[in-house]
Amino acid sequence: MKKLSLIILILCSGLGYAQVMTTNGGVPVGDNQNSKTVGEYGPVLLEDIHLIEKLAAFDRERIPERVVHARGAGAFGHFVSTKDMSQYTKAVLFSGNSKKTDVAVRFSTVIHGKGSPETARDPRGFAVKFYTEKGNYDIVGNNLPVFFIRDAIKFPDMVHSLKPSPVTNKQDPNRFFDFFTHVPEATHMITRLYTDLGIPKGYQFMNGSSVHGFKWVNAEGKVTYVKYSWVSKQGEVNLDLDQAADQQSKDWQHATISLRNDIKNKKYPEWDLYVQLIKPEDIHSFDFWPLDATKDWPADKIEKIKIGTMTLNRNPVNYFQEVESIAMAPGNLIPGVETSEDRLLQGRLFSYFDTQRHRLGPNNQQIAVNQPKEAKVVNYNSDSFSSADNSKFPNPDVNYQPSNKVDLAENSTYKDPEQTLENVTIMQKKISKTNDFAQAGDFYRTLSDQEKQNLIKNLISDLGQVQNKKIQKTMISYFYRADRDYGMRVAKALGFSQKDFMSAGGN
């Protein structure tokens, strides 16, 4: 019998079966096919620890999906800095001299759920995590340079309007256009989204933007406002409505598969990173508020400077561990980068960390893909899920600071610079430089005739479903104020005459 067992073991070893299955505690499993029972036909015993442990693990395989950005794809690679920006920021990754920094990237759709088709019209998330020697730095943005709202207090309502109805469980243009008639600043984003930019052909074929402006701080403490944009070296390629419908009939996971296949086939996608800079003394010199997330920074007024290139050259090995579990947040900053006064950004600073503690757990930063690679975590968070491993510290008995026993202290080099704010008034008030329609009109006039036709067609496909004519007229008035031709085309496509429009009281 022993000889037969040895022969079987040798044969199994040759087939790659030499490893023994174990429990989570490393205990060998003798039978993974049959539960412990009372006799051959009796009930299952609670003492079958392997069964209980296996089922408990299975029950927890699905974590809550992201409220937004639920559907996504990821990849890994590096960023190479090509221009020394140290006169503006002490952020180590932007020091030039071909400095190389590892990155993890997650692309996503914003509104639609985890199993939704990638052919849906939706902004796309474009989030990059840089693993620097001063800690992890995240640029968490979208493929479009602007957003629907400028204040985070509107964010839950905006998302609720775009999500399925709580009554019918269906996404409904009647709901979200009802909301947007009260949000004129969304006109710019809606205009961009309803061009073919709203349905990228693939993640490697779209540009990216930080959307928000941030503050760069140099070694002397001098502040410069900065906005990031990624430009695809594959070109910006999108699908029109007919192409999207055709693609959906073939494969609605095309964006994920296309990105994965290109990396697998060594067609490594690349993006150039550009920045735009504004001096603090010039921040009020525009006819819009630059820290308003509904506004783009026009390249003809604020130069775009190329500072590096990102290359993605590795696919995820395990999707759950490396993509679903990755935690990007605009509050993950390193010395040399600070947040700006952008109202939407300020809300995101809380919301992202809070979501990740809920979705992934309080120890989410200890998950491998979220851990710093080039920087060591040293703190005295203790005795909880979010604690660091202080057993390797010079004195494990000391889990507090300051102490006479251990020379571990803060470094004033990385202290935030002092900023003087005089005559500050705390208020709840809309900004005065709203200018909600000018940039939407500027963007519309850059479109070709075919792109304008596609924009109107795409808009009517949703706005035409809205049953309330007052909502349609209000949206037309926004488009008209952006550009007369734009508004007239939408009105005509919806079947309105000039008389109908005048009867709306000039709306």
Statement: residue 77 has pLDDT above 70: yes
Confidence of residue 41 (pLDDT cuts 50, 70, 90): confident
Residue 453: its H or E element: helix 449-463
Mean pLDDT of 208-237: 96
**Least confident span in 81-90, 392-401, 407-416:** 407-416
User: What's the CA gap between 243 and 227, in Å, rounded?
Assistant: 33
Mean pLDDT of 219-247: 96
Confidence of residue 377 (pLDDT cuts 50, 70, 90): confident
Separation of CA 27 from chain center: 40
Statement: residue 503 has pLDDT above 60: no
Residue 130: its H or E element: strand 124-132
Q: What is the pLDDT of residue 505?
A: 41
Mean pLDDT of 200-205: 98
Q: Which positions are annotated as active-site residues?
A: 69, 142
Confidence of residue 161 (pLDDT cuts 50, 70, 90): very high
The residue extents of the domains of the chain are 72-147+198-372, 438-502
Contact call for residues 113 and 159 (beta carbons, < 8 A): no
**Least confident span in 39-48, 193-202, 349-358:** 39-48
Q: What is the pLDDT of residue 13?
A: 46
Mean pLDDT of 133-145: 96
The pLDDT tens digits of the residues spanning 99-113 come to 999 999 999 999 999
Mean pLDDT of 461-469: 96
Separation of CA 253 from chain center: 18
Domain spanning 72-147+198-372: CATH superfamily: Catalase core domain (2.40.180.10)
Angstrom CA distances, 70 to 200, 388, 466, stand at: 17, 29, 27
Q: What is the pLDDT of residue 14?
A: 47
Statement: residue 69 has pLDDT above 90: yes
Tokens of 140: 């968490």
Q: What is the pLDDT of residue 44?
A: 83
Tokens 């008034």 sit on residue: 425
Tokens 């304008």 sit on residue: 452
Q: What is the pLDDT of residue 15?
A: 47
What's the mean per-residue pLDDT of the chain?
Answer: 89
Confidence of residue 420 (pLDDT cuts 50, 70, 90): low
Q: What residues form the annotated binding site for heme?
A: 352
Q: What is the pLDDT of residue 366?
A: 86
Residue 500 vs residue 216, higher pLDDT: 216
Q: Quick check: helix, strand or coil at residue 11?
A: helix
